[in-house]
Structure 1
Amino acid sequence: MCKLKVSDFLEHNRNWVGRILLDQKPDYFNQLCEGQQPSALLLGCSDSRVSPSKVFGVELGDLFIHRNIANVVNPTDLNFLSVLQYAVEVLKIRDIIIYGHYGCGGIRAAYENKGLGLIDNWLAPIKVVANQHQKELDLIQDENRRLDRLVELNVLAQVENIKQTSIYRAAAHAGISLRLHPWVFDMHTGLVKELQIPIQT
């Protein structure tokens, strides 16, 4: 894969606009200016290889997106909490996708527990997830499969973390049902796997 120059991005933008106009969609950009009505909020990883728009083939305006390293819901992250509140209370979004991916560098870094500086603080919740499921992870002999399982466990943990936010609780108190979708992207196949949320006993 050839590495692009920054100037290439502008050229690609001009070509993209040209294709839209060739497809006879002259009102496309005017419609975007009228406002947004996204179908879902997506919390994904910042990894450059997992772009939600590419993977899901969606148009501008279809997804309200927040991305950070390893798709973590941190109770002190006012950035994500503000996005969540705006999505639920202003945009009236009812579907929330937690979108992890196999081969996640943040997951590997958390599991290997090497000192990386500032990012160690961000990865701390993933280390907690790994510790909580250490027995299960230790039973998986293949390291890549073990890390893949931690990716899944992390996504499921973030589902539970969303449930603990004041925004989710306020919505539930108001009778608003927010549907949480734990998904994992497999770069080997290009397919997205839907995880099952464990039933709480």
Structure 2
Amino acid sequence: MTDQEKYDKIFEANKQWIEKNKVDNPGLFKLLVADQHPDFLYIGCSDSRVHPNQVMGLKPGEVFIHRNIANMVIATDLNALSVINYAVEYLKVKFIIVCGHYGCGGVKAAMEHLDYGILNPWLRSIRDVYRLHQDELDIIEDEEARLRRLVEINTYEQCLNVIKTTEVQRSFHENGYPRVAGWVFDINDAQLHDLRIDFEGELKKIKKTYNITGKASK
């Protein structure tokens, strides 16, 4: 099959999907045109093997999704920050989930001493996470085990970055939501693993430096 045939096949598959759902799931299209009211914001990796709705068992409209390489939440990334702002301020999500996955190519690339060109600034943020936890990671001799642990730690650190944002702090202070959770998806068996982040405990710990629930005077 040529590349063009692969491309054209998508539209034929779309038509088949529509016809199948007209029979099997006739309410789907009414659901698609309705306003979205998701309880969850999912921040995950762009990896093509991980599909948030399928993994979470949720229908269209039930999860707001943002994806990038290695599920990063970087203070200068207006894309991710805009998604968080919209999800918290307008969609009123109850949970923000940062989901990493074992076997992450971005995390693996950050562990290598290679020049990835335009990706270097992005990977540096992951390397910064490694530097913060170098003592723990360096004693793990098995490279695969070290990669898995860095995936977990990076996910945890990105959860902390979410907690640092103004919108999340203010909304939780005023409304009691959203709460932030960290997950890791295992591509080997499709299991989700909850890192069981103590959200309120972490929020309390970082408030000394990152507490921004108050308004700055003009």
Same fold, TM-score > 0.5, yes or no: yes
Alignment of 1:151-166 (within 5 A): 151-166=151-166
Partner SS state of residue 162, structure 1? helix
Separation in 2 of the partners of 1:196 and 1:89?
25
SS in 2 for 1:140: coil
CA distance in 1, matches of 2:13, 2:57: 17
1:146 is aligned to 146
Partners in 1 of 2:43 and 2:172 — Cα distance? Answer: 20
| 2:144 partner amino acid | N
Instruction: Kindly provide the amino acid, as one letter, of the partner of residue 66 in structure 2.
Output: H
Q: Which residue number corresponds to residue 9 of structure 2?
A: 8
1:183 matches 2:183: yes
Match of 2:28 in 1: 28
List structure 1 runs of 4+ shifted beyond 6 angstroms.
none
2:96 aligned residue: 96
SS in 1 for 2:181: strand
Distance 2:124 2:167 in 1: 23
> What is the alpha-carbon distance in structure 2 between the residues aligned to residue 62 and residue 175 of structure 1?
20
Kindly provide the CA deviation profile for residues 33-74 of structure 1, in whole angstroms up to 9, marking residues without a partner as x: 121111200000001011112322322111100000000001
| Equivalent position of 2:109 in the other structure | 109
Query: How far has the Cα of 1:178 moved from its partner?
Result: 1.7
Deviation at 1:24, TM superposition (A): 5.3
Distance 1:59 1:76, change over 3 A: same
Higher helix content, 1 or 2: 2
Counterpart Cα distance in 2 of 1:122 and 1:32: 34
Taking structure 1 as the reference length, the TM-score comes to 0.91
Identity %: 43
2: CA distance between counterparts of 1:106 and 1:34?
36
Stretches of structure 2 lacking an aligned partner (at least 5 in a row): 206-218
Taking the aligned partners of 2:69 and 2:134, their CA distance within structure 1 comes to: 22
CA RMSD of aligned residues (A): 1.8
TM-score, structure 2 normalization: 0.84
Which whole-Å CA distance do the structure 1 matches of 2:123 and 2:169 have between them?
25
Structure 1 gap ranges (5+): none
Whole-angstrom distance in 1 between the partners of 2:59 and 2:9: 21
